[in-house]
């Protein structure tokens, strides 16, 4: 038998923190191998290395007979590896339906359409997802998400299946179905090697081979039986504890549950009566009632998406209920009442702490918000750090911590103010057994010694068994509420898990139980038979149009599922075109001016009238003093003040030199220069008139200057501005549409699909780009129609040329968005970078208002190389000057050249592995 994975002295560091140190390991073919150990010991890191998702640092790794450092080898074998990352549905696309998700992955792996249909049907029938093919992945329950994740992973017949905590946060029924599925697959494909990291020891017991890890190192390897024999223990959990270093063992003692004192007089802490929550026509919680005594530990169990979290949110006042009543600590819950919140601690299911604050800062912030007295604060924070064993991580950022540690931090934060009621939504999902037990000891102490009421939801049956009472919830309804022992008794089951599954099966609607036998019929050899028929024919190494189109399809679906965004893209550019097209005018008109006439003679009045006749100026009330002139100019009320000196008429009569002062508001230089020109012109005209009247005619003109205003004879601003607004809008909006395309996948986690599937970087980018090019081009056409129809801007030139240049330009603009997206790590930064990178060149350097040739310095350089300047030239040329390709060919080349440059840079900066 060959070894599928060979690790030699693998070491990975995050910063200066050692994630895994010097691991050497061999994994043979056809085995199911479990990785067990506490959180943050390097299980996920090791699995992501083997999957090729993360780049190697030190050491050597051979997977499926080749070196994982070799780019070529990774490309070759990535179709043989299936990887399901940690986190529910992390690599799925929530707005896409089950079918669409599966189609997407199937296309990435190059299956033909018939093969895709057959595979999707078989897989979904086996997993019971068949009836939900059209449901969006984001609306599936956690268990179903994991099943879908598995289907997506199995779509290409992997030889190596890597599952990172696949059942964390999944209910027992779904969990048992999930493992049944894996068992079926192994039966039909005996050569498949399965690597699983898990926090469930009962799951680990089923595996053939276990690797126990701690602190980045391997503690022991062997079959579950061997490990138990080695440590002389009877169950795996104990065996694992025995393998741990002595110091850690000391922390671990068995959890002892003290039953609650049977005291019926204890007041009710939480009471819910007929709670109902409806979202549209979907009833998430249906008429739920329960009451919890002070000091009770009340467990809440149920499959994912059954309404547990919604119920808990209603209890905290976060969600106002549709119907029913909540009484908290003896008072009717009032969401606006802040006082009760001091007495409640809430931990939501999704990790919701500030990733930018350190562990310590998070704790201190919450202590402050909950008004922990300043003198107690340091002590309290210290206490929490010790209790939850976070002291050594106090300065770490949560993002760098494994899930389990983060959950501990969430809990520490929820308890920092010593609340009377704790509402905990799956606090232990993803937390390792040792930490979970420590956590439960805390909870029990809180409830029994301090009388804290605890309302907790969980998927772990051993945790449920420790509760005073539990409720089983399914599809919005509570099935049963009783002490755990009674529930087991009632179903005559051996364990709570069995009882739970029995209750669930009883409550499940008929169709689900019909699909099951059907599904088991479909297994057997059908998948492996198909394998021979439909093994994808084409070469993985080459560029593949199918993969590109698969990404294009996925992106289009996502775009269409967000109609608001699509409408904003279209309508927004149209609205902006109207507002800016009408708003920006270069005609300087209606300038407010006033006269300070200190002469008041006939001739000064004559001068004043010559100004008043101008269409450029609007006369304001006369100025009466210097002080007033100063004030009115400072306030911006006057753009121009004309001062006529005393004795103006008299002096002029005597033939003495007189001076008229024109004060111009210079705060906006371009406007001031225009005003200067106007005033000068009016002044000269007046002088000529005066001279003519005095009959001393002396035409000083030797030549006749004839100005022809070309292209825009009426000098309408619209004709100049509208063709300039189009390039600006077509740069900014398409770039912004794509600017989040990559960075969002990074934030959401689905970027993993780029890392572990055969898709090439260029296919990934072009595929995602395609729908945006189409959208932006459609928007471009709309803008042109608007310009012609609404603004009456004549389109004199070659429409085809305009179309071609526009198409090239939107391709460039969307490429720029991708560049910003790849360059940054957060969505905010990507938006900011795109805005700065497009708005500044488009408005200031492209020649919209000031021609590029007139610019200076760096601005001129940007204007000269930026494609938007060329598109502006082309747009004006075609609209106003009636040009076509023959004169504008240089703009075509300039814009076309910018596309490969931008995309090339993007491809270089985009990584095909995590670093």
Partner 1 sequence: MRLSNVVHLSVKELWSLWRDPVMLLLIVYVFSVNIYTAATAVPESLHNAPIAFVDHDHSQLSKRIVDAFMPPYFLTPKVISEQEVNEALDTGTYTFVITLPPDFEKRVMKGSVPDVQVNVDATRISQAFTGNGYITEILNDEVAAFVTGYKTESSYPVNLIMRARFNPALESFWFGSVMELINAVTLIAIILSGAALIREKERGTVEHLLAMPVSNADIMLSKIIATSLVVWLATLMSVYGMIECVLGVPINGDISLFMLAVILQLFAISSMGIFMATIARSMPQFGLLLILVLLPLQLLSGGTTPRESMPELIQYLMLFTPNTHFVMASQGILYRGAGLSIIYPQLLALLVIGGVFYYVALRRFKTTVGSL
Q: Which is nearer to partner 1, 540 or 686 (CB)?
A: 686
Residues in region 534-573 near partner 1 by CB under 8 A: 562, 564-565, 568-569, 572
- Region class of 621: left (phi > 0), else alpha (psi between -120 and 50), else beta: beta
CB of 662 to partner 1, least distance (A): 5
CB of 431 to partner 1, least distance (A): 19
Residue span 310-329 as binding mask against partner 1, x where in contact by CB under 8 A, dash where not? ------xxxxx---------
CA distance readout (Å), 581 to 780, 787, 863: 15, 9, 22
- CB environment 152-162: b (16+ within 10 A), e (fewer): bbbbbbbbbbb
CB of 725 to partner 1, least distance (A): 9
Strands 297-302 and 453-457: parallel
CB of 709 to partner 1, least distance (A): 4
Residues in region 452-511 near partner 1 by CB under 8 A: none
Backbone phi, psi, residue 224, to 5°: -55, -40
* Chosen residue from 389, 502, 508, 588 binding partner 1 by CB under 8 A: 588
> Is 15 among the residues that bind partner 1 (CB under 8 A)?
no
In the block, residue with structure tokens 């019926």:
264
| Cα separation, 568 vs 734, whole angstroms | 12
In the DSSP assignment, the letter for residue 41 is S
> Is 885 among the residues that bind partner 1 (CB under 8 A)?
no
CB of 591 to partner 1, least distance (A): 6
Q: What is the 3-state secondary structure (H, E, C) of 284-329?
A: EEEEEEEEEECCCEEEEEECCCCCHHHHHHHHHCCCCCCEEEEEEC
User: Among 27, 31, 36, 432, which Cα is nearest to 236's?
Assistant: 36
CB of 481 to partner 1, least distance (A): 24
> Is 909 among the residues that bind partner 1 (CB under 8 A)?
no
Q: Which is nearer to partner 1, 133 or 658 (CB)?
A: 658
CB of 583 to partner 1, least distance (A): 4
Q: Which is nearer to partner 1, 70 or 825 (CB)?
A: 825
Query: Which residues lie across from 596 on neighbouring strands?
Result: 643
CB of 729 to partner 1, least distance (A): 8
| Cα separation, 51 vs 45, whole angstroms | 10
* Chosen residue from 680, 685, 900, 904 binding partner 1 by CB under 8 A: 680
C-alpha distance across the termini of the chain, in Å: 33
Q: Which is nearer to partner 1, 371 or 379 (CB)?
A: 371
User: Among 336, 422, 412, which Cα is nearest to 367's?
Assistant: 412
Residues in region 814-833 near partner 1 by CB under 8 A: 824-829, 831-833
CB of 337 to partner 1, least distance (A): 10
* Chosen residue from 183, 485, 512, 575 binding partner 1 by CB under 8 A: 575
CB of 261 to partner 1, least distance (A): 30
* Chosen residue from 179, 209, 290, 663 binding partner 1 by CB under 8 A: 663
Residues in region 743-802 near partner 1 by CB under 8 A: 744, 747
* Chosen residue from 462, 739, 757, 811 binding partner 1 by CB under 8 A: 739
Per CB under 8 A, the segment of 19-27, 187-195, 731-739, 772-780 that binds partner 1 is: 731-739
Per CB under 8 A, the segment of 230-238, 280-288, 680-688, 779-787 that binds partner 1 is: 680-688
- Record the tokens describing residue 569, joined without a space: 């893209």
CB of 663 to partner 1, least distance (A): 5
Q: Which is nearer to partner 1, 21 or 136 (CB)?
A: 136
- Record the tokens describing residue 269, joined without a space: 């802490």
* Chosen residue from 733, 754, 899, 907 binding partner 1 by CB under 8 A: 733
Residues in region 259-298 near partner 1 by CB under 8 A: none
CB of 839 to partner 1, least distance (A): 7
Backbone phi, psi, residue 140, to 5°: -80, 155
Tell me how far the alpha carbon of residue 780 is from its chain's centroid: 27
> Is 258 among the residues that bind partner 1 (CB under 8 A)?
no
Give the three-state DSSP class for 457. Answer: strand
Size of the site for partner 1 (CB under 8 A): 152
* Chosen residue from 334, 631, 650, 689 binding partner 1 by CB under 8 A: 631
> Is 231 among the residues that bind partner 1 (CB under 8 A)?
no
- Region class of 339: left (phi > 0), else alpha (psi between -120 and 50), else beta: alpha
CA distance readout (Å), 12 to 307, 401, 748: 40, 15, 24
Q: Which is nearer to partner 1, 246 or 708 (CB)?
A: 708
Per CB under 8 A, the segment of 121-129, 254-262, 650-658, 775-783 that binds partner 1 is: 650-658
CB of 712 to partner 1, least distance (A): 4
In the DSSP assignment, the letter for residue 137 is G
Sheet architecture: strand order including 617-619: 617-619, 591-597, 640-644
Residues in region 841-860 near partner 1 by CB under 8 A: 843-845, 847, 849-851, 853-860
In the block, residue with structure tokens 């590109």:
548
Contact between 823 and 909 (Cβ < 8 Å) = yes
Backbone phi, psi, residue 903, to 5°: -65, -40
- Record the tokens describing residue 772, joined without a space: 């945006």
Give the three-state DSSP class for 482. Answer: strand
Residues in region 339-378 near partner 1 by CB under 8 A: 339, 341-342, 344, 346, 348, 350-357, 361, 365-366, 368-371
Residues in region 711-730 near partner 1 by CB under 8 A: 711-713, 715, 717, 719-721, 723, 728
In the block, residue with structure tokens 């959180």:
39
* Chosen residue from 266, 840, 865, 896 binding partner 1 by CB under 8 A: 840
Contact between 550 and 683 (Cβ < 8 Å) = no
E strands, 104-230, in order? 160-164, 193-197, 209-214, 217-222
- Record the tokens describing residue 426, joined without a space: 């799956």
Strands 3-14 and 17-28: antiparallel
Contact between 297 and 468 (Cβ < 8 Å) = yes
> Is 392 among the residues that bind partner 1 (CB under 8 A)?
no
């Amino acid at each position: 038998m060959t070894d599928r994975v060979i690790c030699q002295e693998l070491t990975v560091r995050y910063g200066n923190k050692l994630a895994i140190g010097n691991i050497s390991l061999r994994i043979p073919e056809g085995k199911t191998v479990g990785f067990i150990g506490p959180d943050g010991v390097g299980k996920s890191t090791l699995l992501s290395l083997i999957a090729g998702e993360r780049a190697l640092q030190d050491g050597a790794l051979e997977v499926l007979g080749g070196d994982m450092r070799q780019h070529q080898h990774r490309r070759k074998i990535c179709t043989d590896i299936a990887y399901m990352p940690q986190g529910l549905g992390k690599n799925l696309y929530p707005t896409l339906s089950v079918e669409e998700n599966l189609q997407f992955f199937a296309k990435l792996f190059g299956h033909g359409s018939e093969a895709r249909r057959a595979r999707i049907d078989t897989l979904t029938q086996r997993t019971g997802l068949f009836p939900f093919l059209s449901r969006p992945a984001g609306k599936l329950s956690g268990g179903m998400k994991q099943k879908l994740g598995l289907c997506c992973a199995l779509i290409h017949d992997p030889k190596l299946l890597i599952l990172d905590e696949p059942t964390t946060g999944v209910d027992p029924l779904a969990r048992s179905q999930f493992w049944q599925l894996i068992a079926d697959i192994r039966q039909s494909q005996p050569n498949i090697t399965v690597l699983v990291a898990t926090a469930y020891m009962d799951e680990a017991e089923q595996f053939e081979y276990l690797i126990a890890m701690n602190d980045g190192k391997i503690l022991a390897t062997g079959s579950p039986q061997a490990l138990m024999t080695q440590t002389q223990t009877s169950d795996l959990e104990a065996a694992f504890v025995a393998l741990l270093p002595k110091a850690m063992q000391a922390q671990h003692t068995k959890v002892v549950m003290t039953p609650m004192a049977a005291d019926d007089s204890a007041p009710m802490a939480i009471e819910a009566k007929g709670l109902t929550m409806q979202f549209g026509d979907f009833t998430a919680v249906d008429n739920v009632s329960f009451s919890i005594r002070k000091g009770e530990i009340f467990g809440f169990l149920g499959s994912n998406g059954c309404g547990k979290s919604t119920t808990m949110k209603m209890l905290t006042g976060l969600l106002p209920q549709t119907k029913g009543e909540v009484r908290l600590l003896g008072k009717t819950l009032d969401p606006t009442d802040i006082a009760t919140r001091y007495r409640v601690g809430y931990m939501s299911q999704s990790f919701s702490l500030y990733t930018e604050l350190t562990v310590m800062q998070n704790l201190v912030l919450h202590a402050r918000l909950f008004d922990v007295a300043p003198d107690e604060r340091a002590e309290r924070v210290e206490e929490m750090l010790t209790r939850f064993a976070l002291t050594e991580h106090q300065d770490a950022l949560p993002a760098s911590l494994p899930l389990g540690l983060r959950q501990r931090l969430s809990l520490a934060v929820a308890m920092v103010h010593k609340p009377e009621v704790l509402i905990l939504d799956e606090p232990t999902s993803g937390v390792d057994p040792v930490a979970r037990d420590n956590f439960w000891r805390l909870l029990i102490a809180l409830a029994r010694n301090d009388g804290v009421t605890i309302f907790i939801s969980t998927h772990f049956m051993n945790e449920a068994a420790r509760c005073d009472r539990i409720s089983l919830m399914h599809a919005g309804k509570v099935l049963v509420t009783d002490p755990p022992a009674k529930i087991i008794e009632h179903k005559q089951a051996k364990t709570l898990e069995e009882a739970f599954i029995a209750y669930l099966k009883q409550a499940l609607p008929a169709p689900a139980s019909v699909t099951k036998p059907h599904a088991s019929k479909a297994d057997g050899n059908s998948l492996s038979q198909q394998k021979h028929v439909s093994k994808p024919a084409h070469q993985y190494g080459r560029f593949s149009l199918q993969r590109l189109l698969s990404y294009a399809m996925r992106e289009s679906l996502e775009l269409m599922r967000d109609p608001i965004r699509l409408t904003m893209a279209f309508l927004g550019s149209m609205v902006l075109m109207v507002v800016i097209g009408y708003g920006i005018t270069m005609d300087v008109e209606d300038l407010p001016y006033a006269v300070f006439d200190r002469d008041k003679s006939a001739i000064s009045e004559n001068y004043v009238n010559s100004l008043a006749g101008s269409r450029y100026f609007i006369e304001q009330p006369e100025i009466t003093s210097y002080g007033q002139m100063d004030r009115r100019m400072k306030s911006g009320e006057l753009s121009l003040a004309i001062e006529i000196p005393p004795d103006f008429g008299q002096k002029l009569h005597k033939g003495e030199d007189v001076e008229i002062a024109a004060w111009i508001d210079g705060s906006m230089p371009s406007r001031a220069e225009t005003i200067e020109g106007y005033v000068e012109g009016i002044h000269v005209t007046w002088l000529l008139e005066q001279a003519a009247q005095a009959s001393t005619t002396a035409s000083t003109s030797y030549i006749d200057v004839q100005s022809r205003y070309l292209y825009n004879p009426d000098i309408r601003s619209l004709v100049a501005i509208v063709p300039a607004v189009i390039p600006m809008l077509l740069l900014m909006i398409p770039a912004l549409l794509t600017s989040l395309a990559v960075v969002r996948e990074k934030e959401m986690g689905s970027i993993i699909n780029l890392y572990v599937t055969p898709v090439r970087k260029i296919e990934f980018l072009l595929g995602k780009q395609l729908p945006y090019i189409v959208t932006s081009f459609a928007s471009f056409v709309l803008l042109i129609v608007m310009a012609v129809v609404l603004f009456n801007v004549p389109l004199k030139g070659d429409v085809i040329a305009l179309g071609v240049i526009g198409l090239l330009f939107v391709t460039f603009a969307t490429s720029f968005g991708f560049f910003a997206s790849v360059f940054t790590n957060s969505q905010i930064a990507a938006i900011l970078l795109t805005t700065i990178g497009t708005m500044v060149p488009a408005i200031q350097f492209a020649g919209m208002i000031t021609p590029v040739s007139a610019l200076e310095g760096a601005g001129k350089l940007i204007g000269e190389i930026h494609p938007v300047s060329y598109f502006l030239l082309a747009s004006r040329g075609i609209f106003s000057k009636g040009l076509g390709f023959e004169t504008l060919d240089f703009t075509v080349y300039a814009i076309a050249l910018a596309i490969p440059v931008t995309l090339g840079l993007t491809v270089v900066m985009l990584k095909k592995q995590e670093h």
